[in-house]
Amino acid sequence: MAWRSTGTSNEELVENMWRNKLMTDSRVKSVFLKVDRAHYAPAKAYVDAPQTIGYGATISAPHMHATAIENLVEYIVPKPDRPAPRVLDVGSGSGYLTHLMAELVGEKGLVIGVKFTVGDGRKGWVEPPREGEDEGGQGWDAIHVGASAKEVHAELLAQLKSPGRMFIPVDDDSDGWNQHVWNIDKDKDGNVTKHKLFGVRYVPLTDAPKDR
């Protein structure tokens, strides 16, 4: 059904996703209208389908980005007890989803994209607390993983705050042909629960680039 969301402009694409209930939160719709996908997709920016961006990477279909944001939005937007949300985007690709999340966290929030900042996404990213943040500030309220993992890597889980949520595609088998997206939730006491969402096909998380 996703192809029915394809539009001829960013606004039409977003309105089609909204009508097809691929996004249902008005905050999500607002930020998708604000960030034009044409700045981040190499061609056919308003087609609701994934595209290659070179180097073995893809930009996901718009409806997948909408689904990711909808699942994470409560951990991304500022709240009285979380005025400066911290978000990690592993496998940030062209930067489209990173930009969407940066708009949602507000002026005090922080979003780090692992690819912009080169590293091994399986190990997450340790970002020191900024001025005004306590020592617990280096964790992440939300973690989005944009490539399939062999497992929910311990480093990523350790960096997830309490409470916090990770949206991650994980291989169901050793060859990586079968994958499902999971919501990994950590409550305020550090207890972890896992919720299987739906089947997907993502490119794999790979080794960090080696020095030439």
Which active-site residues does the annotation give? 60
> Would the CA dihedral through 88, 93, 94, 96 be positive or negative?
negative
C-beta separation of 107 from 101 below 8 A: no
Looking at residue 61, its amino acid is A
Q: Indicate the DSSP class of residue 144.
A: E
Contacts of 55 (CB under 8 A, 6+ apart): none
| Counts of helices then strands in the chain (DSSP H, E) | 5, 8
Could you tell me which of 60, 64, 66 has the C-alpha nearest to residue 24? 66
Distance separating alpha carbons of residues 28 and 20, to the nearest angstrom: 14
Could you tell me which of 42, 70, 72, 89 has the C-alpha nearest to residue 163? 72
- Tell me the sheet residues that pair with 210: none
